[in-house]
Amino acid sequence: MGKIRMAVLGAGPRWMSLVETYTAHPELEIVAICDRADGYAENACAELKRIRGMEAVPYHDFEKMAKEARYDAIFIDCDPDIQVDFAVSEMDRGIHVMTEVPAAYTIEQCRSLVSAVRRNGVKYQLAEQTRYWHFISQWREMSKAGEFGQIYYAEGEYLHYEKAWDYFRNKKTGHRVWTDDPSLDKDPDYERTWRYRTFMEPIFYLPHELSPLLSITGGRIRTVSCCGSNPGQSYSGFDTRDLECALMQDDKGVIYSIRAGFTAPYGFKRETGAHWYQIKGTRKTVEWARSTEDLPKEYTLEGGWVTHPEWGCNDPNAEEPFRSAAHGGADYYPIYHFMDAILNDHQPLMDVYLAVETAAPAILAAESARRGGVRLEVPDFRKC
């Protein structure tokens, strides 16, 4: 098999932050990049040429790229709430697909993603990367070795404050505007972006917490309820909620508490930025540093609290390019495992079931918050 020829849909900041990391894979060739915004695909192709000497063709229209360009796989990195339709149409013509977080925004999208993978037998992977952080892998190993005893509680938060987010897009150029000024909402030349839509209900963005926690507990979320703070408190003129908090239970009875928010000022944590995690078991509790001023720690009855300054995001024994990848070394793992699945005909590590098992609880959490916190049942996509 020659190199894997890959197309990219969506050349926004996320793709630009991944270009160097992903193209470090020796078997990968990027052949086409599509973005509807003026100049983005051209810039991304120029960057690819500058970094790797690869010649990719820029496109502004997905249908045109799908018709003209020849590729084996596509990385869909556009607005996450519309990505499933692109993913399904690509899988239906035999293209391997990787998409970004969150995998889906409706239960119907979850179902259509699963059935597209089943009927086509192609590789689908979600590019969720926090599950590859070194301390998460260490906690996973501790769990496999039974060190926690019975895990009964898992907690996570993603509180990522920025003074201004890219809430609007110029309808003509496609360029986004980072602003804390709501007046563009009334300007007919601008429209709301997926970030505006997502941050109104921030719990949609919980997969970066749920994915690593589920990889440690081995559970599947069965029930969800959620409540949110009042809209429009920190960013006046915007309807965003500063925080939503979901309470969930998995098929083994483990309780999960996960919160997400993007608009109220809050400090970052050591190494993980806006992310934080905790696992409680009958024998041991572990938790990540709560700020930049403290350390990760564990508690046991015998040993009391012990800090772990050596726990970190980067695996000190990992080879390049894992070590130098963005997000504390995590960003190379998704492309590595996606390529491995294609080249060696494996089930991708973060397959479609694991992907929708992080998306569906978020979708139902948002619905629960809208309905006053009612408890909702998450479908089992492996049985549907």
Ligand X SMILES: NC(=O)c1ccc[n+]([C@@H]2O[C@H](COP(=O)([O-])OP(=O)(O)OC[C@H]3O[C@@H](n4cnc5c(N)ncnc54)[C@H](O)[C@@H]3O)[C@@H](O)[C@H]2O)c1
Closer residue to ligand X (CB): 244 or 250: 244
Closer residue to ligand X (CB): 91 or 376: 91
CA distance 74 to 99: 8
By beta-carbon distance, which residue lies closest to ligand X? 12
- Answer for which of 96, 134, 160, 176 binds ligand X (CB under 6 A) is 176
Closer residue to ligand X (CB): 4 or 34: 34
User: Smallest distance from the beta carbon of 157 to ligand X, in angstroms?
Assistant: 15
Question: Using CB under 6 A, which residues numbered 186 to 215 contact ligand X?
Answer: 193
Strands 165-170, 176-179: parallel, antiparallel or unpaired by DSSP? Answer: antiparallel
- Answer for which of 20, 38, 42, 79 binds ligand X (CB under 6 A) is 79
User: Smallest distance from the beta carbon of 208 to ligand X, in angstroms?
Assistant: 7
CB of 308 closer than 8 Å to CB of 296: yes
SS3 70: coil
- Token pair, residue 25, equals 């894979």
User: Which residue type, as a one-letter code, is found at position 83?
Assistant: Q
Question: Using CB under 6 A, which residues numbered 50 to 69 contact ligand X?
Answer: 62
SS3 188: coil
User: Smallest distance from the beta carbon of 223 to ligand X, in angstroms?
Assistant: 26
DSSP letters along 114-158, please? HHHHHHH---EEE---GGGSHHHHHHHHHHHTTTTSSEEEEEEEE
- Answer for which of 77, 271, 298, 357 binds ligand X (CB under 6 A) is 77
Strands 57-59, 28-34: parallel, antiparallel or unpaired by DSSP? Answer: parallel
Closer residue to ligand X (CB): 98 or 101: 101
CB of 48 closer than 8 Å to CB of 30: yes
User: Smallest distance from the beta carbon of 324 to ligand X, in angstroms?
Assistant: 17
- Answer for which of 106, 112, 174, 299 binds ligand X (CB under 6 A) is 174
Total number of residues that touch ligand X (CB under 6 A): 24
Closer residue to ligand X (CB): 42 or 79: 79
User: Smallest distance from the beta carbon of 11 to ligand X, in angstroms?
Assistant: 6
CA distance 235 to 200: 11
- Answer for which of 21, 109, 120, 129 binds ligand X (CB under 6 A) is 129
Count CB-CB contacts under 10 A for residue 186: 7
Q: Which stretch binds ligand X (CB under 6 A): 76-84, 107-115, 279-287, 295-303?
A: 76-84
Question: Using CB under 6 A, which residues numbered 20 to 39 contact ligand X?
Answer: 34-37
Closer residue to ligand X (CB): 101 or 339: 101
Angle at 372 between CA 159 and CA 235, to 5 degrees: 40
Edge-to-edge order in the sheet of strand 73-76: 57-59, 28-34, 4-9, 73-76, 96-99, 124-126
User: Which residue type, as a one-letter code, is found at position 268?
Assistant: F
By CB under 6 A, residue 47 contacts ligand X? no
CA distance 126 to 347: 12
Footprint of ligand X (CB under 6 A): 9-14, 34-37, 40, 62, 77-80, 100-101, 127, 129, 166, 174, 176, 193
